[in-house]
Amino acid sequence: MANVVIVGAQWGDEGKAKIVDLLSKNADYIVRYQGGSNAGHTVNANGEKYKFHLIPSGILYPGKVCMIGSGTVIDPKVILSEMDHLTERGVDISGLQISAAAHVTMPYHIIIDRAQEEMRGSKKIGTTVRGIGPTYADKSARNGIRMQDLIDPTELLEKLKFLIPEKNIMLERLFGLEPLELDAVYQEYVAYGQRLRPHVFDTAAIIWQADKKRKNILFEGAQGTLLDLDHGTYPYVTSSNPVAGGACIGSGVGPNFIDRVIGITKAFTTRVGEGPFPTEISGKDAKILRAEGTAWEEIGTTTGRARRVGWLDAVLLRYAIRINGLDCLALTKLDVLDDLDAIYVCNSYKDLRNGKTYYELPAESNFLKYAQPEYVGLMGWKNEGKSSADARCVEDLPKGALSYVKYLEKILEIPITIVSVGPSREQTIVLEDPIHGPKRVLESEVVTM
Ligand code: IMP
Ligand code: MG
C-alpha cells in the first residue's frame, strides 16, 4: 500500500497521463490536485483514443474513485461535456467525485484571460485562454465561487449579485467590452450546478477514510514543475502549484501522507506558450522531435498550438528533482529519438555574463536569459537497425537507447524506473518497480568503504 504523487518534471506534456494510466491499475483512488481545463491529456486504451481536460484518466478503469481536489479550478461546461462524452462511449462515471472546495471558472474569467493577454501585447504569457489565471486570482482575492456555492442556488445568486456588477466595471471600463447579464449567467450556471450536484463531496475527508482502510491513493499533477506559480519560470507559468507539495494542499492531506514521488520527463524537452527555453532548437532535428506528420505530433491537446521543442535539459531536471523531492523518474517518448544521428543533452549552463558554469539552476529569475547550454553529444542508435518503439523489455532496446537511459541516470543521480517507447499501453518498459523499487539515495545514506 502506498500513496504516490505523479508530477511533470518539465513544462508539462511529459506524457504523465500514460504513466498515470499504468499506475492507476493498482490504485483505488486517483486524485487530481491542481489546474483546470488548461490541461489536456490523451490516453489510448481499448483501441480508442480518449481526451481529457479535467477528469482523471483513471475513470477508464471500472471501480476506481476519481477525484478532482480542492486545489483545482473547474469550468462546469467543460467537465459536463467530458462527462457526457464518456457516458456516450459507455464509460461508467459514477466514481467521479469533485471537491466542494474547488473553485469554479466563470464566463468572466475566460473573457478577462483573453483581454489581459491582448493587453500584454509582446509581453503575453501565451495562456491557454481557459480562464485559469483570473479564476485563481479571484480565489486568492476571496472573490471566488466554489463548487459548494455552484450547487446551492441561493448562495450562487447572492455571490453573483455582488460579483457580476464588479466584473462588469472591469469589462466595460478597463477592457471596453460588453457587460454580462446577471440573470443569464445565473440561469445557465445554476443549471450546471444542479447537474454536477451528485458528484460534489468533501473529498479530503473521503481520502482520510480511504487511507485508514489502507487503500492506494495516486495523486496526479497537471502541467509541470517549470510551470509552477512559485517555483517555475515566473511569470511564464500557470497560476497553480503542480509541484509535489501541491498535492498536499490541493487535496487536503498532510505531507507525511505521501510515500513516493515519481517525476515524468520526456527524453527531450517541449514547451507551449511564451517564456525562456534554453535548449530550444529548430531545423531538421526539431522536425524529428516534434514528430511532424505523425499521429503523435507535438501539438497542444488543449490549444492545438505547435509545441516548441529542444534537447533534454539536465540542469532543469536536477532542479525538478530537488523541488519535488523526486524518488525516481519515468522517461517517455524515447522512441522519438530513433531517427536522430546524434543526441544532445544539456549538462550545464554557461553564464554569458561571467563565464561561470552551472550544473544547477540558480534562483535569479532573469538567469535563463544569459544561460548558454553546454551540451554533451551522444551517438544515436539509428544504424542499429532496431526501433525502440518495438521494444517490450530492456533486452529489446537498441544498445544506444539503453546507454542513453543509463547516462541520464548517472548525470541526474536518480533511478529511471519506467521507459515509454510509444503511445500504446504495451509500449511501456518497467525497469524497476516505480513504487517499491530503488529510489534516489540521499547523500547521508551513501555507504562509503
Ligand atoms: P494558463 O495555465 O492557461 O494560464 O497558461 C499559462 C502557461 O502555462 C502557458 O504558457 C501555457 O501554454 C502553459 N500551460 C498551461 N497548461 C498547460 C498544459 O497542460 N501543458 C503545457 N503547457 C500548459
Ligand atoms: Mg498536456
**273-295 burial, b if ≥16 CB within 10 A, otherwise e?**
bbbebbbbbeeebbebbbbeeee
- Sheet-wide strand order for 416-420: 200-201, 96-99, 65-68, 29-32, 217-220, 3-8, 260-266, 328-332, 416-420, 428-430
State if residue 75 touches ligand 1 by the CB under 6 angstroms criterion: no
Q: What's residue 446's pLDDT?
A: 64
CA of 239 to the centre of ligand 1 (A): 9
Helices 132-140 and 107-120 pack at an angle, to 10 degrees, of 110
Whether residue 406 is predicted with pLDDT greater than 80 in this model: the reply is: yes
User: What is the rounded distance in angstroms from the CA atom of residue 447 to the CA atom of residue 36?
Assistant: 44
| Residue in 21, 28, 41, 53 annotated catalytic | 41
Local structure of 103: helix, strand or coil: strand
Q: Are 319 and 253 in contact (CB under 8 A)?
A: no
Quick check: 447 pLDDT over 70? no
Is 138 known to be catalytic? no
Judge if the beta carbon of residue 229 lies within 6 A of ligand 1: no
Question: Tens of pLDDT along 100-120?
Answer: 999 999 999 999 999 999 999
- For residue 270, name the pLDDT band (cuts at 50, 70, 90): very high
pLDDT over 80 (residue 301)? no
Rounded distance, CA 431 to CA 70, Å? 34
List CB contacts of 378: < 8 A, sequence separation 6 or more: 342, 343, 344, 345, 400, 403, 404, 407
Q: Which ligand is nearest to the CA of 128?
A: 1
Give the model's pLDDT for residue 117. 97
User: pLDDT band at 1, cuts 50/70/90?
Assistant: low
CA distances from 342 to 288, 339, 378, 400, 410 (A): 12, 9, 6, 10, 19
For ligand 1, atom 21: residue with the closest CA: 12
73 lines ligand 1 (CB under 6 A): no
The Å distance, Cα 290 to ligand 2 centre, comes to 14
CA 134 to ligand 1 centroid distance, Å: 14
**pLDDT for residue 54 is more than 80:** yes
Residue 227: CB within 6 Å of ligand 1? yes
- The bound ligand whose nearest atom lies closest to the alpha carbon of 238 is 1
Beta carbons of 328 and 434 less than 8 angstroms apart: yes
Cβ–ligand 1 contact at 310 (below 6 Å): no
pLDDT (tens digit per residue) in 170-218: 999 999 999 999 999 999 999 999 999 999 999 999 999 999 999 999 9
Instruction: Supply the DSSP symbol for 271.
Output: E
Confidence at 375, pLDDT banded by 50, 70, 90: very high
For residue 131, which ligand has an atom nearest its CA? Answer: 1
Question: Is 270 close to ligand 1, i.e. is its CB under 6 Å away?
Answer: no
Q: Which atom of ligand 1 lies closest to the CA of 227?
A: 8
**What are the CA-CA distances from residue 45 to residues 59, 179, 217, 302, 304 (Å)?**
12, 44, 21, 20, 22
Predicted structure pTM score: 0.96
When pLDDT is averaged across residues 61-72 and rounded to a whole number, the result is 96
Contact 173, 153 (CB under 8 A): no
Question: Catalytic annotation on 13?
Answer: yes
Closest-CA residue, ligand 1 atom 2, reads 238
What's the confidence (pLDDT) of residue 364?
A: 87
Taking the centre of ligand 2 as the mean of its atom positions, its distance from the CA of residue 169, in whole angstroms, is 34
Q: From CA 315, how far away is CA 350, in angstroms rounded?
A: 11
What pLDDT sits at residue 448?
A: 60
Q: Ligand 1 centre and the CA of 234: distance in Å?
A: 12
The answer to whether the CB of 335 falls within 8 A of the CB of 344 is no
